[in-house]
Amino acid sequence: MKLQVHSVHFDADEKLVDFIQKKVDKLETFYDRLVDGEVFLRLNNEGIENKTVEIKLRVPGNQLFAKEQAKSFEEATDLATEALRRQLKKFKTKLMESKV
């Protein structure tokens, strides 16, 4: 899946971008018709949990979104992809119900 990663006010290293790509690619096991995605990485100034990850996924006819904050970008990515996994399952269930 085509994924755009935007790091706001800093440069994300290649390892982090690869990690995010792998995590988001795993979401395709739950729903294989993902169109594309966008990821925004932000550093906040306050608190220990100052890393924010926003993931926007486009599926046919809809858009799913998750925003999480954590101590590291990896942890925030884990939380956001988990939230998107739940959303994808719910979306797929609704899709199946509407076809019946």
- Structural domains in the chain, CATH included, are 2-99 (3.30.160.100)
Phi then psi for 19, rounded to 5 degrees? -60, -45
pLDDT at 63: 96
Q: Which two tokens stand for residue 9?
A: 């006010």
- Give the largest CA-CA distance in the chain: 49
Asked if pLDDT for residue 100 goes beyond 80, the answer is no
Alpha carbon distances (Å) from 1 to 31, 32, 57, 74, 93: 12, 10, 10, 19, 22
Question: Tens of pLDDT along 11-40?
Answer: 999 999 999 999 999 999 999 999 999 999
Sheet holding 51-59, edge to edge: 2-8, 36-43, 51-59, 62-70
Question: Tens of pLDDT along 55-93?
Answer: 999 999 899 999 999 999 999 999 999 999 999 999 999
